Structure 1
Amino acid sequence: MAALLVAGFVGLFSETALNIAFTELSHIFSVDPTTIQWLATGYFLTLGILVPVTGILMQKFTTRQMFMTSILLSIFGTILAALAPGFELLLVARIIQAAGLAINLPLTQNVIFTIFPPNKRGAAMGVMGLVMLAGPALGPTIAGLILDTLSWHWIFWATIPFLLFSLFFGIVYLRNVNEIRKVSIDALSVILSTIGFGGIVYGFSVSGVSGWTSGTVLGSIIIGVLAIIIFAIRQMKMENPMLNLRAFNSPLFVLGVIMSFITFFNMLSMLVVLPMYMQMALLMAAFTTGLILLPGSLLNCILAPTIGRLFDKYGPKAVITPGTILVAIAYVLYTQFETDTATWLIVVTHIIMMLGIGAVLASVQTNTLNSLPKRYYPDGIAITQTIQQVAGAIGIAVMVSVLSAKQTSFLATTANELPQAAAAGSSLVFIISLVLAVINIVLSLFMKKPTHQ
């Protein structure tokens, strides 16, 4: 588990760490802000395309083969990024890094569900939840510190020792635990999956630049949705599907997937919009922003294993419902933020938010997958991981667009009041998120322990 979790942390850290350096990189490489955003879009896009395919790969190749491919891609991509002399090579390196993470995340979950009995999975998934939250949350803070003292290359060099540790530990300790089956990879399913999930992620990712009425955006999303519909119909008719959608026959699985989508939609958009509010409305520096958000992230890391153990002991509803309530309370506080909000209030609100997300995130995932028979684990993991990546991409695109639209309409009536416009835009985003958070509270009331356990 140490080998898998450390590699996963580095991958998720890399997902957000470079975002803080985009302005600097656009000057260094002489490219416009729209182009530099591809360093994030390309990462999301690769995850959205490759994660659905890992469900079948985990049944075709051994645990060690999958791990070695994942870690070597991560190491190669990271070294290439650190040495990249220009934008094009850095983008290629980011795609290779994302390919490593796309294998690591489903593989880690699959190993947890194979080696831990149902009554201990909550604690194990709690640790994985720690990794899934700590990586993206700590990325901007640590990257900000590195940028203040060293060059952007060190954002990548700093992670190499961790990846080498993971490689060494994996070679020595990692065993083959998954069941290998004779499965054939259906080329048409892979193509439909790639066009479907890739089209949706790409369409939403470029919407902030091209605008929602752009032919590229609408065309990509429509083609993506149609490809997924055809993909789903094909999977249901195949004897050995690439992704077994019969997992959706379980009501608890469907409930968990919807809650996961809302959680990731809200969480990843909040991790983008909140720093934007702090920098634009409160005029804080990037590194200061990271430091203010650090206590919530660290507390979540400390408590994640405990939350997992509470899930094992008291069941899903006892942990998930209070978590969803905490998230809603945090959004109520966020909606009140103005241009003169006290720093301590932001710290406290973020702590409440991260505690709530920590209680919801891993617990929902654990219960969702527990509701499936063992043979469906690889498919269930691939489905839930894909939904999370797509939800994140859509959440960031939609909420940043809402923020920008509100800012623009505010500035149209009030000249040169950018901080107030940013506060008004952020407040609208948080109101929408609050509505979704309340829906999650209602859904959590239907959560229960799967009967077959």
Structure 2
Amino acid sequence: MVDTNGKRYSQLWLTITLILGTFCTALTTNMLVTSYPTLMTKFSISSSTVQWLTTGALLVMGIMIPVSAWLLNNFSLRSVYTTALSCFLIGLIISYTAQNFQLILIGRLVQAVGIGITFPTIQTVLLVIYPPEKRGAMMGLGGIVIGLAPALGPTVSGWILDNASWRDLFGMMIPPVVIVLMMSIIFVRPVIPMKKSPIDAWAIAWSTIGFGTLLYGFSSVGQHGWGSSIVIISIIVGLIFIGLFVRREWPQKEPLLNIRLLKIPSFTIASMITALANTAMIGIQVVLPMYLQDVRGLSPLNSGLMILPGALLYGVISLISGRAYDKIGGRRLALMGMFLLTLGTLPFTMLTIHTPYTYIIMEYVVLMSGVALVAMPLTAASSVDLHGLQLSHGTAINSTMRQIMTSMGTAILGSVLTNVTNSGKPATALGIIGLIFACMVKKTQKAGDVQ
């Protein structure tokens, strides 16, 4: 294989480097969820405050992901990826050495800058360097990284919290990130075509203010209630600025984010389904550890082990579904996946203090099986009608939709955390909506259908 400069490079080692780097960043996505009760006790903070480690990080990721398309088109892949890993490393060090919750949060937000760049980067690179007929399989491999790593996070953090300090949640990641950073300098090559364009500062400002205030409004529901003026004004202001962002970007010839791609039905529907599935999954992953630890009295390790079977099965099914997509397309996978997701979230609306643990494990296994059938295969499906530079923008839009909806879903689920059965209802509703969208996926849409 040759890069954009005509020089030979190792496709295998480039893929391995990106996978390892993204796995390190993705592992921390849900790792802190299991530590919430510990941090709440250590720093005497409320559940709504500690959830900003998730909500705030998702917001920063949602802000950075749209910028990733511009970065990949204006700078070399090596520069972008090493910078992302460096930000992640700096954030880890800040959180590891923090003496109060505020510094932990600051470090987490810095980490999110790196995470927000690495997630769309690996998807874009895999779509670029592999032919259409192999995209499903490779996105399935990417799904293991982006999906399995966060799912393993609670189990890993549970073991650490039972055997070490909360600081080691960050400290243990520092050595492997340093190693991957060195690998990226050696093996990452310029494989994405570049087309330099000026950065649109106004677009960044509108998107940052819009998504930021919108999320703040949702996250304030738990403290102030839906009728609060703070909540209502924040949501309205957020929607206004998001509207300004869309209005500014739509006619641009060289936009920060080419949102005109949303006019392509196959892309929009597939992206919406993956966003809905991811939102339902993350929502349950945030609520479930708190239920298991605070309501059922389990240790962090045991609560993590409760969701381990679902996490492992997610990895296996991601590989299978990726290869299946290359053969049968995305429609049947989407229908089966959203049906299982809905089936898996529905029982969470009926949890009680006496619900058998085996029952909870099986619910989560069904949920994760459904998400695995949807996530990466439909990410590949969303790229079927995209070409060239559209791939980086398409991946950024796909990831942005997923992260922003997840941020909102996490905030909404957190606002009803006091009643765990209520927390499962929004996730079930998302599954039903996703099932409807799945019926709209083209029957003929396969990896080789690129026109």
Calculate the TM-score normalised by the size of structure 2: 0.90
Query: Residues 123 and 62 (structure 1 numbering): CA distance in 2 closer, same or farther, change over 3 Å?
Result: same
Counterparts of 1:173 and 1:331, CA distance in 2 = 42
Which of 318, 337, 357 does residue 343 from structure 1 map onto? 357
Cα pair 1:316 1:364 within 8 Å, conserved: yes
One-letter amino acid of the counterpart of residue 18, structure 1? L
Tell me, yes or no, if structure 1 residue 87 matches structure 2 residue 87.
no
Query: Residues 153 and 275 (structure 1 numbering): CA distance in 2 closer, same or farther, change over 3 Å?
Result: closer
**What are the residue-to-residue correspondences of 1:416-427 with 2, within 5 Å?**
425-426=420-421
Q: Quote the offset at 1:97 in angstroms.
A: 0.7
Structure 2 equivalent of residue 433 of structure 1: 427
Which of 128, 141, 145 does residue 131 from structure 1 map onto? 145
One-letter amino acid of the counterpart of residue 15, structure 1? T
Q: Quote the offset at 1:304 in angstroms.
A: 1.7
Counterparts of 2:294 and 2:48, CA distance in 1 = 19
Tell me, yes or no, if structure 1 residue 387 matches structure 2 residue 401.
yes
Query: Residues 172 and 195 (structure 1 numbering): CA distance in 2 closer, same or farther, change over 3 Å?
Result: same
Which of 354, 371, 382 does residue 385 from structure 2 map onto? 371
Structure 1 equivalent of residue 336 of structure 2: 322
Counterparts of 1:56 and 1:123, CA distance in 2 = 27
Tell me, yes or no, if structure 1 residue 143 matches structure 2 residue 157.
yes
Structure 2 equivalent of residue 56 of structure 1: 70
Tell me, yes or no, if structure 1 residue 111 matches structure 2 residue 125.
yes
One-letter amino acid of the counterpart of residue 259, structure 2? L
One-letter amino acid of the counterpart of residue 247, structure 2? I
- Secondary structure of the residue aligned to 1:17 is coil
Structure 2 equivalent of residue 422 of structure 1: none
Q: What is the total number of aligned residue pairs between the two structures?
A: 433
Tell me, yes or no, if structure 1 residue 181 matches structure 2 residue 175.
no
- Secondary structure of the residue aligned to 2:353 is coil
**What are the residue-to-residue correspondences of 1:225-304 with 2, within 5 Å?**
225-304=239-318
Structure 2 equivalent of residue 444 of structure 1: 438
Structure 1 equivalent of residue 219 of structure 2: 205
Q: Quote the offset at 1:137 in angstroms.
A: 1.6
Counterparts of 1:133 and 1:300, CA distance in 2 = 8
Query: Residues 37 and 281 (structure 1 numbering): CA distance in 2 closer, same or farther, change over 3 Å?
Result: closer
One-letter amino acid of the counterpart of residue 114, structure 1? V
Counterparts of 2:414 and 2:118, CA distance in 1 = 29
Structure 2 equivalent of residue 354 of structure 1: 368
Structure 1 equivalent of residue 27 of structure 2: 13
Q: Quote the offset at 1:143 in angstroms.
A: 0.9
Cα pair 2:66 2:400 within 8 Å, conserved: yes
Query: Residues 189 and 330 (structure 1 numbering): CA distance in 2 closer, same or farther, change over 3 Å?
Result: same
Counterparts of 2:94 and 2:378, CA distance in 1 = 36
- Secondary structure of the residue aligned to 1:265 is helix
Answer with 67-76 or 157-166: which moved more: 157-166
Answer with 149-158 or 168-177: which moved more: 168-177
Counterparts of 1:281 and 1:32, CA distance in 2 = 16
Counterparts of 2:79 and 2:103, CA distance in 1 = 27
Cα pair 2:37 2:290 within 8 Å, conserved: no
Answer with 210-219 or 43-52: which moved more: 210-219
Report the identity percentage.
Answer: 32
Counterparts of 1:436 and 1:34, CA distance in 2 = 23
Structure 2 equivalent of residue 412 of structure 1: none
Consecutive unaligned residues of structure 1, counting only runs of 5 or more, are 408-424
Cα pair 2:158 2:299 within 8 Å, conserved: no
Q: CA RMSD in A?
A: 2.1
Which of 171, 174, 195 does residue 157 from structure 1 map onto? 171
Q: Quote the offset at 1:336 in angstroms.
A: 4.4
Structure 1 equivalent of residue 414 of structure 2: 400
Query: Residues 276 and 54 (structure 1 numbering): CA distance in 2 closer, same or farther, change over 3 Å?
Result: same
Deviations 1:322-376 (A, max 9, x none): 2222222223443444433222222222212111110111112111122323321
Deviations 1:399-448 (A, max 9, x none): 232443xx4xxxxxxxxxxxxxxxxx41x443443333233223212212
Counterparts of 1:363 and 1:436, CA distance in 2 = 19
Counterparts of 1:32 and 1:55, CA distance in 2 = 37
Deviations 1:281-339 (A, max 9, x none): 54433322211110110121133222211111221123222222222222344344443
Calculate the TM-score normalised by the size of structure 1: 0.89
- Secondary structure of the residue aligned to 2:253 is coil
Counterparts of 1:91 and 1:402, CA distance in 2 = 23
Counterparts of 1:273 and 1:89, CA distance in 2 = 24
Cα pair 2:283 2:427 within 8 Å, conserved: no
- Secondary structure of the residue aligned to 2:82 is helix
